[in-house]
Structure 1
Amino acid sequence: MATAYWSSVFTGSADAIWAVVQRFNGLPDWHPAIRASEITGGGDELTPGAVRVLTGADHSIYRDRLVDLDDADRTLTYEIVEAPLPVRGYRSTLHVQPVADTGGAFLSWQATLVPAEGTTASQATAVLEAAYAPALAGLHTVIA
């Protein structure tokens, strides 16, 4: 099993960041590589079990399932059901925490995964971290 990780510190409050991140269907609002998202079953965007279909800017299709949404802890956990990525068994958690001395927020995005056949752990995590970095940069522009 491998782990992918990316994080960032925000000047906005944890509540402000969480209000954007908790929307399972809201990824196109801040991830530059995702142009559309649609909830296709399992409930609404705040209900564990909800399934979203993402369309990438390159027209790729991703299907994810919301596993857990914890407002008190500000965590969102999802798993990939189907995606054109060199991984399987992908489960990821976004966690927003307050930064006490500045009033800002710290967001971490961590995933566990199994590299697909013919892919090393470092190759698989590099692909994911290359997607996380512009996503969090995009979130900075939405929150600013």
Structure 2
Amino acid sequence: MASTSVSRVVPASPQQVWNLIGGFASLPDWLPYIPESTALEGGRVRRLTNPDGDVIIERLVAFDEAERHYSYAILQAPFPVNGYVSTIRVHTVPGRDDIAEVQWSGRFNPDNATEAEVVELFTGIYRDGLAALHQSLAS
């Protein structure tokens, strides 16, 4: 099983960050790669569409409001992986209440791709996503 993790400090309090990203259907609010999210099954499943029209379906597998994190599994996607589970987590920065650290991590099995290829793919998605989050919070 392959894995990757990317962290970034963003210019907002942990609660402000969580208010923006903590909703399972909130990706379009901060992630340009996902302009559309439809909640299904009472909000436990999301149907995402990317700018190319590709559909990604994900299921919420864990959610912790107090600890500010959630995990999800991909049910359907145009990615060369299976067994994908990812977590988005908001951390406090000791001694600071005006910034937060956001960590986006995932583990997955390559499927018709090398481990290096899928690690590079998701590292890039997470890095670009957290850069977009930073930009959204900075403006």
Q: Same fold (TM over 0.5)?
A: yes
Other-structure match for 2:115: 121
Q: For each residue in 1:16-75, what CA deviation from the matched residue of structure 2 results, as whole angstroms up to 9, or x when unmatched?
A: 11111111111011111111000122x13xxxxx11100001111100001111011111
Q: How do 1:23-102 and structure 2 match up within 5 A? A: 23-41=23-41, 43-44=42-43, 50-102=44-96
- Please tell me whether the aligned partners of residues 21 and 30 of structure 2 are also in contact (alpha carbons under 8 angstroms): no
TM-score (norm 2): 0.94
Residue ranges of structure 2 left out of the alignment (5+ in a row): none
Q: Distance in 1 between matches of 2:68 and 2:103?
A: 11
Q: Distance in 1 between matches of 2:11 and 2:31?
A: 19
1:125 shift after superposition: 1.1
Residue ranges of structure 1 left out of the alignment (5+ in a row): 45-49
Which runs of at least 4 in structure 1 moved beyond 4 Å after TM superposition? none
1:136 shift after superposition: 0.9
Q: Give the letter aligned to residue 111 of structure 1.
A: G
SS in 1 for 2:96: coil
Q: Work out the number of aligned pairs and report it.
A: 137
- Please tell me whether the aligned partners of residues 17 and 105 of structure 1 are also in contact (alpha carbons under 8 angstroms): yes
Q: Distance in 1 between matches of 2:69 and 2:9?
A: 16
Other-structure match for 2:105: 110
- Please tell me whether the aligned partners of residues 67 and 77 of structure 1 are also in contact (alpha carbons under 8 angstroms): yes
Q: Distance in 1 between matches of 2:125 and 2:53?
A: 15
- Please tell me whether the aligned partners of residues 18 and 68 of structure 2 are also in contact (alpha carbons under 8 angstroms): yes
Range 100-109 or range 83-92, more displaced: 100-109
Other-structure match for 1:47: none
% identity of equivalent residues: 35
Q: Distance in 1 between matches of 2:57 and 2:137?
A: 26
